[in-house]
Structure 1
Amino acid sequence: MITWVVLLSIVGLLVLLISGLVRPAIAFSTLAGCYVLLGLIDTQTLLVQYTNPALATLLLLLLISLALERSPLLDWISQRLLNGHPRLATAKLMGTGALLSAFLNNTAVVAAFLGAISRQRTIAPSRLLIPLSYASILGGITTLVGTSTNLVVNSFTLSSGGFELGMFQFSLVGVPVALITFIALLWRAQTLPHHQLEDTADKLAYFLAADIQQGSELIGKSIEANGLRSLEGLYLLEIERQGRLISPVGPEEILQAGDTLVFTGEVGKVQALQRFPGLKLFGNHANDLLATNLMEVVISHESELAGKTLQNVDFRSMFNAGVVGIRRGEKRLEGQLGKIPLRVGDCLLLAVGSDFRQHRNLDRNFHLLSGSFTRPRLNRIESGLTLAGFATVISLAAVDMLPLFHGLLLLLGGLLLGRVLSLAELRRRFPFELWLIIGSALALAQGLENSGAAALLAQGMQVLFSGHGIYAAFIGCYLLTLLLTETVTNNAAAALAFPVAWSTAQAFSADPLPFIMAVAYGASACFLIPYGYQTHLMVYSPGRYRISDFLKIGLPISLTYSAAVLIITPLIFPF
């Protein structure tokens, strides 16, 4: 009976993840807690999973990447790639993105190129951003540290099999698969839409501005007293007063003659302003001023804004900025902006206050596309030492002279001592949700084993593929992982698929390594829709894509990638 309860709980977990009703960290950790209460795992076993050495290595790598992503190297490279013939520029961008993603966090790589691609006018960004995102996946599958998914699989391998995967063990299959898929990607990139970026005039279409005339009853009264805070569909964003901007606008601000009020929201509801005497709509004479404090950002996968509305989080107080408009993919969202639930990947156009850059949570919440603000970068000495230290750690781990965990721990200590990173920054950017997901998933895998559910899955896989052989079972495990990664996040897909693959290998008395690799490569095979992979969400709105754009280019890429994985993996890692 308990076996079926466990299996049903996993199905329920999958349903919750697909629906998006519950954040993955909450779903995984809650179910792990239920397993403890049911006696499927004890408290000590649960706590051990959260201190898994491979999981700790993943966390250290992500923390160190905070310093690596501030290196000016990525900016310097991005400025030199986008020249020459468009196809040549695309190939250089993809190749460089893939190479960097083999060793650096691919989110940081895409974020570094995102701004440069969005600001240049030579090649339409929509022709470059999906190839960049896909190329970062292809680079990530070639090394242990190339993507968090490989490190997640390594965590499960250590927990279940008692051994760890090597730094370049993934390269034996990953490199040829990446090269084959790279050629197909370069070919299909020419079919992407040709969207040029909006210029300033387009962005200012979000605005609605009005002058306060001499003798208006609004003069001398506050925003609150004039009833300008509760307009239907419109929001008072900023005030132009004698050549300067007041942004954001507080409820106690007293209006003066000659003020220009700048509204945003449903511009079509201009009639809401007609009831204010002495308020005159005007044309575009303030455009130059309004354009000076505009900034375009993308909501990051780490952001606390995801799933919330601007009203819920009091955006204006958090960032000293007002949201002028929201765009999701190719759509410019309309309506009362404060009531629209935000998503990862949404593109926000902000009018920022003078101290916007001083807010410490910007890196966690946004990827910068355009604007005068630039994040603090490492100087040449700091950048050189950080990159050299990271290269040394990777090299020593590759030749088994120093365990990767030890090397990363020493490097993190050095970065803290050298004040390249701070404890406050580590606290802000600590990947807490990922730690909860993977630690809980390791506990769930142990619960599957203890309840007999894993053995039942193994028997089911054996019966299902008994007439087709072990290769068919291998294909089945890969396709299961691919399906999961297209419907839930890649790390969650690896966590759910690994126990099935491991049990299948045991049922066929086969070497588990090809099945482990099937999960690793399958969990990174997210090419069809933008919602399963964080870098796809990063480029979705800046490229003004539709979901059909991902399907059009992603289907042949997914088929090419999958065929290469399924053919090459058994040749390198025989059953």
Structure 2
Amino acid sequence: MSAYLVLASIGALLALLIQGRVSPAVLFTGWAVGYVLLGVTEQQALLTSFSNPALITLLVLMLVSLALERSPLLDRLSDTLLKGRESMASLRLMGVTAFLSAFLNNTAVVGSLLGVISRQRYIPASRLLIPLSYASILGGVTTLVGTSTNLVVNSFVINAGLPPLGMFQFTMVGLPVALLCILGLLFSARLLPQNQMLDQETPQSYFLEAQVMADSPLIGNSIEANQLRSLDGLFLLEIMRHERLLSPVSPDEVLQQGDVLVFTGEVEKVQALQRFPGLQLFGHGADRLLASNLVEVVIANESELPKRTLREVDFRTLFNAGVVGIRRGRRRLTGQLGQIPLRVGDSLLLAVGPDFTDQRNIDSNFHVLSGTLQRPKLRKNQSLLAFCGFGVVIALAAAGLVPLLNGLLVLLAALLLTRILTISELRRRFPFELWLIIGSALTVAKALESSGGAQLVADAVRSICSGYGVYGAFIGVFLITLILTEVVTNNAAAALVFPIGLSTASAFGADPMPFIMAVAFGASACFIIPFGYQTHLMVYSPGRYRMVDYLKAGLPISLLYSAGVITLVPLMFPF
């Protein structure tokens, strides 16, 4: 397979990634297997990619983070962080978020603070959640373990036969850039809307209620027999019977006199109920009782729900909960809820059954915003053990005394032995999709390099930048990565540009380190479009944002970030 055909296939891969209809895990795995079958790269290269030490380090780090994110530390900090003037509260929040994200998975940090910020009543959440997401990115670029992107780039570095990156090798550039952008956020955040608090929305706007009267022929028949499960635009969510709530409703449930049927969906389609004799419509009877079991959640990045409908996944059976409403940004989605393809970051208002909290798939699918439903927190001694152990591992790795992977494996074993983590939890939360993407991306990068495709692109970059020298080529690699990370995912951008950056450095006879840093920092430079980075999607619906909100707040930060990186990287890592 010639270099031109490989480049054409990479172009097709990029087009499919931008289109977003197929999962990146499926695309990268398909391309990697295809290259092996066509002889572009060897089977051993594929197997080696999935056992890359930096990739295994990333996976173990994410598993350890499962314990750290359950610490009550962030909840206890919340009141202190968010009191006082908005500007000072925002600065404290961004500072703490950036510091924590330098060492913890930034998705875990944002997920832990998301509910706290959404529930507090000091400052509108819409003024804080985009700064929270941006600060988690800025903190992540300061260390090797701060973001998965840096560890992914390190896996490419090791795969290329270069010395692995150090724990604080990013700090010399990342810390000044982070401080500059956090100060910039104090000003750009003023452009964000002051959207209403969550509890100012009345649940009544989601519901339609009907009472079964004494003379109704529906009495004594099941929901299925009464054909109440296939209404035009409406869905039977719950039944209130003698101050008792039946949720979810079984199709075999037999109606009784006085039952209050609670419907959701297109509540304006009230005429769908007119064909049922003996139903009396009213508007406020079940409001108080319904509010007692309403939970708002945000679909997580690792959830199995995105791109699928509620009907396809059998949501009610899977989670013992019914979906009352779906919000995407500021817009409440209407129509038949069961037929709407879901997305990461969608906010769902759920009416939950009595054993909802016992469902073992809640953590992997949702970030819970409701104050009445919280994940079990670690006890004080467990939290101390987890954080101290993690701190020791990072310190030993930074000092070069113990390899990071070895330290994390020992810590993971300790967390399992003390039952802070369990095998079942690791099984449920294992980042299998990320493992597939990165392992396959390493193979794709190898194919791009071994086929000569990366060298062709590098020669083109050299030709274009011939009048600007190696510095112009460095800026070109950074900008290509930045643009890709805005339109695809950060890890995909790093995978596609890394071999090009390495070949470009070789074409100019330059040290590869500035180009490696250009890819690493460029792949984290997602500030303008919310769909390129998972923490942006996490805050999209809880903040009631629109696309333009990210543009207004993020464009100045993207410019500051780019200027800082382009200036500092060549100073700290000379060509």
Mapping for residues 349-368 of structure 1, pairs under 5 Å:
349-368=349-368
Mapping for residues 548-567 of structure 1, pairs under 5 Å:
548-567=548-567
Post-superposition offset of 1:420: 1.0
Post-superposition offset of 1:385: 0.4
Post-superposition offset of 1:449: 2.1
Query: 3-state DSSP class of the match of 2:236?
Result: strand
Q: Equivalent residue for 1:38? A: 38
Post-superposition offset of 1:565: 0.6
| Contact 1:79/1:116 (<8 A) preserved | no
- The 1:158–1:248 alpha-carbon spacing in structure 2 relative to 1, beyond 3 Å, is same
Distance 2:161 2:353 in 1: 54
Deviations 1:464-521 (Å, cap 9, x if unpaired)? Answer: 2122100000000000000000000111111111111111111111111111111111
Q: Equivalent residue for 2:492? A: 492
Post-superposition offset of 1:351: 0.2
Distance 1:450 1:119 in 2: 52
Q: Equivalent residue for 1:55? A: 55
| Contact 1:126/1:543 (<8 A) preserved | yes
Q: Indicate yes or no: 2:153 matched with 1:153.
A: yes
Alignment-mate amino acid for residue 567 of structure 2: I
Q: Equivalent residue for 2:446? A: 446
Alignment-mate amino acid for residue 503 of structure 2: S
Q: Indicate yes or no: 2:409 matched with 1:397.
A: no
| Contact 2:505/2:511 (<8 A) preserved | yes
Q: Equivalent residue for 2:17? A: 17
Q: Indicate yes or no: 2:196 matched with 1:196.
A: yes
| Contact 1:36/1:43 (<8 A) preserved | yes
- The 1:355–1:553 alpha-carbon spacing in structure 2 relative to 1, beyond 3 Å, is same
Q: Indicate yes or no: 2:133 matched with 1:137.
A: no
| Contact 1:321/1:353 (<8 A) preserved | yes
Deviations 1:385-414 (Å, cap 9, x if unpaired)? Answer: 011000000000000010000000111111
Alignment-mate amino acid for residue 313 of structure 1: V
Q: Equivalent residue for 2:507? A: 507
Q: Equivalent residue for 1:254? A: 254
Q: Equivalent residue for 2:180? A: 180
Query: 3-state DSSP class of the match of 1:335?
Result: coil
| Contact 2:119/2:198 (<8 A) preserved | no
Distance 2:338 2:79 in 1: 36
Q: Equivalent residue for 1:476? A: 476
Post-superposition offset of 1:447: 1.1
Q: Equivalent residue for 2:66? A: 66
Query: 3-state DSSP class of the match of 1:210?
Result: strand
Q: Indicate yes or no: 2:334 matched with 1:334.
A: yes
Alignment-mate amino acid for residue 316 of structure 1: R
Post-superposition offset of 1:201: 5.3
| Contact 1:309/1:340 (<8 A) preserved | yes
Distance 1:200 1:253 in 2: 34
Post-superposition offset of 1:162: 2.7
Q: Equivalent residue for 2:458? A: 458
Query: 3-state DSSP class of the match of 2:369?
Result: strand
Post-superposition offset of 1:203: 2.4
Matched length: 575
Query: 3-state DSSP class of the match of 1:370?
Result: coil
Distance 1:214 1:449 in 2: 77
Q: Equivalent residue for 2:419? A: 419
| Contact 1:294/1:371 (<8 A) preserved | no
Distance 2:445 2:211 in 1: 64
Post-superposition offset of 1:294: 0.3
Mapping for residues 169-318 of structure 1, pairs under 5 Å:
169-199=169-199, 202-318=202-318
Deviates more, 1:82-91 or 1:293-302: 82-91
Post-superposition offset of 1:371: 4.1
TM-score scaled to structure 1, two decimals?
0.99
Post-superposition offset of 1:209: 0.6
Query: 3-state DSSP class of the match of 1:255?
Result: coil
Post-superposition offset of 1:451: 1.3
Post-superposition offset of 1:97: 0.7
Distance 2:539 2:200 in 1: 20
TM-score scaled to structure 2, two decimals?
0.99
- The 1:275–1:521 alpha-carbon spacing in structure 2 relative to 1, beyond 3 Å, is same
Post-superposition offset of 1:563: 0.5
Structure 1 unmatched runs, 5+: none
Distance 1:313 1:19 in 2: 23
Alignment-mate amino acid for residue 499 of structure 2: P
| Contact 2:490/2:532 (<8 A) preserved | yes
Distance 1:131 1:516 in 2: 27
Percent identical pairs in the alignment equals 64
| Contact 2:298/2:348 (<8 A) preserved | yes
Q: Equivalent residue for 1:431? A: 431
Post-superposition offset of 1:458: 2.2
Distance 1:263 1:320 in 2: 17
Deviates more, 1:405-414 or 1:73-82: 73-82
Structure 2 unmatched runs, 5+: none
Distance 2:372 2:304 in 1: 24
Alignment-mate amino acid for residue 568 of structure 2: I
Distance 1:448 1:413 in 2: 38
Alignment-mate amino acid for residue 434 of structure 1: L
Alignment-mate amino acid for residue 471 of structure 1: Y
Distance 2:202 2:220 in 1: 34
Distance 1:174 1:100 in 2: 14
| Contact 2:208/2:283 (<8 A) preserved | no
Q: Indicate yes or no: 2:79 matched with 1:79.
A: yes
| Contact 1:233/1:336 (<8 A) preserved | yes
Distance 2:4 2:135 in 1: 41
Distance 1:275 1:200 in 2: 34
Post-superposition offset of 1:335: 0.3
| Contact 1:200/1:291 (<8 A) preserved | no
Distance 1:174 1:485 in 2: 18
| Contact 2:203/2:287 (<8 A) preserved | no
Alignment-mate amino acid for residue 101 of structure 1: S
